[in-house]
Chains A and B, each alone.
Chain A
Amino acid sequence: MRVFLEQLINGLTIGSFYGLIALGYSMVYGVLKLINFAHGDFFALGSYLGYTLLVFASAVLTTHLGPWTGMLAAMAVAALSLALVGVLVERAAYRPIYPAGRLPAVVSALGASIIIQNLIMIVWGPRYQAYPASAIPNLRLEVGAFGFTALQLAILGISFALMAGLYFLIQKTTWGAAVRATALDRDTAALMGINFSRVIRFIFTLGPALGALTGVMVGMYYRQISFTMGWSYGLKAFTATILGGIGNIPGAMFGGLILGVVEMLASAYVSTAWKDVFVFLILILVLIFRPTGLFGEKVAEKV
């Protein structure tokens, strides 16, 4: 039972990471029908920026203001930086390609991903880096028979708060409605007065920023980061997007959570080595039997 609960918490934690990253994929895919391969690398870049901040400002931040401030500062810096990077990448690498169609856009996204990933490798080196131990809060809590770290709870809390906030934003505000409308029917949305460029700017600042925040949290949680993490997290997060239903933004979050839990339970009860295979198999089965994802996408084709 204890193992189950611990794995459940682990699963929800990593699931919330997938979910937050998946949001970025889902928003971009919903509006542009583009698989933004570079999104995983936004996440990685955010993680590395947080790392750099913590390493170089460690004296000030963690010594004087405590590791929590350090973490929040890293998240803020990463998020703001990636919000900028996201818009720049869209402007430079994607916008000129839209008229050429979907496949060229995908290739361009792959190109952008390669560039960012290799720039990370060039700047920070090909070996693993680790978030400095001094930057990690090491408060432990005991609740009955279960032990958690304060960090874990904080991360879960922050992640869920972010997801709740995103859910509210997408479902209940006009900004969110604009994004959803554009995803459903771009031309009609434009006719209704929705400024397409603004929607683009919105999703390419919010998505990468969220990804970057998540990157810092991952860095704090697992400590080790590598320049290939964008690839691995990105692929999982994208499958979470599909699991939730393409273009279904809240669905992406739930898809991430489910994916994380399934992955952790699989690694605990099936085998760690085969957990990824298990996860992909689940995805494929879902697509065979429920092709529009678990929560359904909102597109239909009229003949």
Chain B
Amino acid sequence: MSAHLPVSLAAGLRRAGLPLVLALFAVYPFAAGAYFVDVGFFFGIYALLGLSLNIVLGEVGLYDLGHAGFYAIGAYTTAILNTRFGIPVLLLLPVSALAAGLFAYLVTSPVIHLRGDYLCIVTIGMGEIVRLALINNPFGLTGGPNGVYGIAAPSLGFWVLDSSREHYFLVWIVVGLAILALRRLQRSRIGRAWNCIREDEVAAQATGIDVRRHKLLAFVLGAVLAGVAGNLYAGKLMVVSPESFTFWESCLMFCIVLIGGMGSVPGVVIGAAAISLFPEIFRPFATYRMVVFGLAMILMMMFRPGGFWPRRRGGLEARDLLARLWRRHD
């Protein structure tokens, strides 16, 4: 599979790796032009979205193809509360996150017990319902197909964050915090319970794990993080419209988790890089860009179905994991 480096070199790389990566991230916005800093911002948003879906899909193994709905709730909560009541955007970050989380709780509670594929369809339906509801402008709140505009930039007292660089750092600091939190969860009793549920739900129940509660928790936490992404997105773009929250977006997030490596935090970040940088790299081939993207997806699954950076080397390869799931679900 992959070449094995001598142990010392590998360890050395690993130790040097993280500080090096952090340095690169810190220096990048000063070296690149505004346009590319914006690309870096969206990379961060996708990383956040990927990490949020990773909780549901990667850790617990629930197929969620409606995750853009939670992203939308976060973005629109920020948009509406800021434009109508003048509440500062940064203050709305926890509010939007909670709104998305609450929505997830209410909406997934009745369906969380459904078997894998059915839950998948329900999530697709939920995502579409959110999008359609936003387009239909209920109570005149959501601005219909044009969305809500005039959202203020996030601010800390008198310091207004409105440059590309400031947004870039804001999003990546949030991503950093999210990664820390997720790593901790992975190593905790809850994270273990999640992984057990992914492996074998019946066995997890029989081992004393409250499966329903943990699935619901995963959805809510995933929604909370997606809501955060929505808030940051709204604060940057200053406009939110239903087009940004389509089924296609949910598919992209799904692909990020899968291509990066299920349940793998570095993998998800790499997957987000692939998804957000891809259109930029292939800009010259504009018309054929998407065809190449589709082709890349297929080839990726053919040659590296475990993802770019699977959680366990020689272990949690998607191929084997899912072959077992496949047999069980037949």
Contacts and interface: CB of A to CB of B under 8 A. Distances in A.
Interface of A: 33, 35, 93, 96-97, 99-105, 107-108, 110-115, 117-119, 122, 185-186, 231, 235, 238-239, 242, 246, 273-274, 276-277, 280-281, 283-284, 287-288, 291, 299, 301, 303
B255 A107 contact: yes
Contacts of B32: none
Nearest to A289: B110
A113 B258 CA distance: 17
Interface in B100-155: 110-111, 114-115, 117-118, 120-122, 124-126, 128-129, 132-133, 135-136
B297 A114 contact: yes
Is chain A's interface secondary structure helix, strand, loop, or mixed overall?
A: helix
Contact of A99 (B110, B117, B126, B323): B323
B293 A273 contact: no
A101 B325 contact: yes
Contacts of A110: 251, 255, 294, 297
Interface in B78-95: none
Q: What are the 8 closest A-B residue pairs judged by CB atoms, nearest first?
A: A101-B322, A111-B297, A114-B294, A100-B305, A115-B294, A280-B125, A104-B305, A104-B301
Nearest to B255: A107
Interface residues of B, number: 52
B202 interface: yes
B258 A114 contact: no
A130 to B, nearest CB: 23
Contacts of B202: 303
B128 A280 contact: yes
Given A93-B298, A105-B301, A111-B297, A276 B111 contact: no
Contact of A277 (B129, B254, B321): B129
A104 B322 contact: yes
B136 A274 contact: yes
25 contacts: A93-B298, A97-B298, A97-B302, A97-B305, A100-B318, A100-B322, A101-B305, A101-B319, A101-B325, A101-B326, A103-B318, A107-B254, A107-B255, A114-B294, A115-B295, A118-B294, A119-B291, A186-B330, A246-B118, A276-B128, A277-B128, A281-B125, A284-B111, A288-B110, A301-B328
A161 to B, nearest CB: 29
B213 interface: no
Is chain B's interface secondary structure helix, strand, loop, or mixed overall?
A: helix
A103 B322 contact: yes
Nearest to B296: A111
Contact of A108 (B133, B136, B301, B326): B301
A242 B132 contact: no
A277 B298 contact: no
Contacts of A185: 330
Given A100-B319, A107-B259, A115-B295, 15 more contacts: A33-B330, A35-B117, A100-B322, A103-B318, A104-B301, A104-B318, A111-B293, A112-B294, A114-B291, A122-B288, A242-B118, A246-B117, A273-B136, A277-B128, A280-B132
B2 to A, nearest CB: 17
A4 to B, nearest CB: 24
A284 B126 contact: yes
B171 to A, nearest CB: 26
B329 interface: yes
Contacts of A273: 135-136
A232 to B, nearest CB: 10
Contact of B290 (A35, A96, A118, A276): A118
B318 A101 contact: yes
A239 B126 CA distance: 12
A239 B202 CA distance: 27
Given A101-B305, A118-B294, A242 B121 contact: yes
Contacts of A97: 298, 301-302, 305
Contacts of A288: 110-111, 114
Given A103-B258, A108-B298, A238-B121, A276 B329 contact: no
B132 to A, nearest CB: 5
Interface string B169-183: 000000000000000
B111 A107 contact: no
Contacts of B133: 277
A173 to B, nearest CB: 24
Nearest to B247: A235
Contacts of B329: 33, 102
B321 A291 contact: no
A298 B160 CA distance: 59
A99 B319 contact: yes
Contact of A102 (B114, B294, B296, B325): B325
A101 B115 contact: no
B207 interface: no
